Amino acid sequence: MLKKYVVRLTDEERSVCEATVKNQKGKSEKLRRALILLKADVDGPGWKDEKIGEAVGCSIRTIENVRREFVLEGFEAALVRKKRMTPPTPKLLDGAAEAKLIALRLGKPPAGYGQWTLRLLADQLVELEVVESISPETVRQTLKKTE
């Protein structure tokens, strides 16, 4: 079967991949991607995806993705995974909401309670309409981050 994305490494790119594998420096994902590029190089070994997958220990889809990134976005993009532009889930508390949480935490607890609990703080934030809903764990992480 003809490959849609064919990897042809230059001498410089090949030497970078070989140095990465030889020195085993960098993240394991970078090492895996360097190995994939080296084995998929048609001017080099030119292995089939199944054989590369067995040797490197990854899925064929990963190999296809590395090939595609190499052809469409260049060598650096194929070797180093790109960072996410946005987090997977948006933050519940912005700066103003965090400030309200801290002020609430430093204030007096409700009548009948000796101290603030995470659940009380979460319930109070919902009651004050700072957020629509929030878990005590999010409150804990926010307070831990700001201490």
- Going from N- to C-terminal start, the domains of the chain cover 11-79, 95-146
> Cβ of 128: how many Cβ atoms within 10 Å?
12
Whole-model pTM: value is: 0.60
Residue with tokens 């912005």: 94
Q: For 108-147, what is the HEC assignment?
A: CCCCCCCCCCHHHHHHHHHHCCCCCCCCHHHHHHHHHHHC
pLDDT per residue as tens digits for the range 58-112:
999 999 999 999 999 999 988 888 787 887 888 888 889 999 999 999 999 999 9
Give the model's confidence band at 124: pLDDT under 50 very low, under 70 low, under 90 confident, else very high: very high
If we measure between CA atoms, which residue out of 136, 141, 115, 114 comes closest to residue 125? Answer: 136
User: Tell me: the pLDDT tens digits for 15-52?
Assistant: 998 888 888 766 788 899 999 999 999 888 888 999 99
